[in-house]
Amino acid sequence: MSALRRRMEEELRLRGMSEKTVMSYVGTVRRFAEHYGRSPDRLGREEVRAYLVYLTGERKLAPSSVNLALSALRFFYVDVLGRELAVARLPRPKRKQPLPVVLSEAEVTRLLGAPMSLKLRSILMTLYSAALRLGEATRLQPTDVDSESMSIHIHDAKGGRDRTVMLSGKLLLVLREYWKLYRPRHWLFYGKTKEKPIDPRTVQKRIAGVAQSVGLRKRVTPHTLRHSCATHLMEHGASLRHIQELLGHKSLRTTQRYTHISPARVAAMLSPLDRLPLDVLTADA
């Protein structure tokens, strides 16, 4: 391991970054250096700018991926090397924020009612009932499920934050059946062995397969269940502040987008056209 890489990893960990972020940032700087065939401390602003243009134009990476690369390079030059001018005023690509796919409550019922293993059903119900991210669900341990307080404890979530979410009574019944059958030890939802959590990609593929089997035309992912839970909570009167805490959003602005995707709220709105006299609208020209 080079001294620069070691220093970067140390600086990231000192700031409480997750191991996933550490690997992502270090990998980005490594690929940047390999692109030029030179040590990154010998490169500067023009090389960083040209690399971002390359990622955008030739690699066709999404704005979120280019922003991640810029964040990693900013951290390397500013926090590791102390060279802020190397990345000064480099623009961030604008991120498109399409509205997330949301299932109706009827569609969630169809999905959860499909034939599947008890393990997969337990995972789907956990994702939906508590609006969890896939990584949060796959890293759950049996001790995180607290039946006394009817809560689930999420450790080291996005941004390194812990939080507590509600435990559905119906989910608890299913998890008890799951426990009797699978007897999990370290990981609640283990993979091929009980020593490792289930692979997130396996969950993604199986959820997509179940959705297809019941004829759902929408693209259904684990995150779809998270979005759907948040939307349904809002439709039934939960406050944005409570939904923010449930989802673990740092900013309320992130949570506010659910006000734009609630089918029930849209259907309940009265169009200004409907306030006009009917006889005027139907009069002959």
Active site residue 249: yes
Q: What is the pLDDT of residue 87?
A: 79
Domains and CATH numbers, the chain: 3-86 (1.10.150.130), 105-268 (1.10.443.10)
Active site residue 158: yes
Which band of pLDDT confidence, cut at 50, 70 and 90, is reported for residue 277? low
| Active-site residue identified among 74, 139, 226, 227 | 226
Q: Is the dihedral of CA 34, 36, 38, 43 positive or negative?
A: negative
pLDDT at residue 92 tops 60: yes
Residue 155: CB atoms within 10 A of its CB come to: 13
Active site residue 128: no
Q: What is the pLDDT of residues 179-230, one digit of tens each?
A: 999 999 999 999 999 999 999 999 999 999 999 999 999 999 999 998 898 8
Q: What is the pLDDT of residues 96-113, one digit of tens each?
A: 666 778 899 999 999 999
Active site residue 260: no
Q: What is the pLDDT of residue 7?
A: 92
| Active-site residue identified among 110, 158, 206, 265 | 158
pLDDT at residue 89 tops 60: yes
Q: What is the pLDDT of residues 9-58, one digit of tens each?
A: 999 998 888 888 899 999 999 999 999 999 999 998 899 999 999 999 89
The string of DSSP codes covering 181-207 is HH--SS-SSB-SSTTSBPPHHHHHHHH
Active site residue 186: no
Active site residue 242: no
Q: What is the pLDDT of residue 284?
A: 57
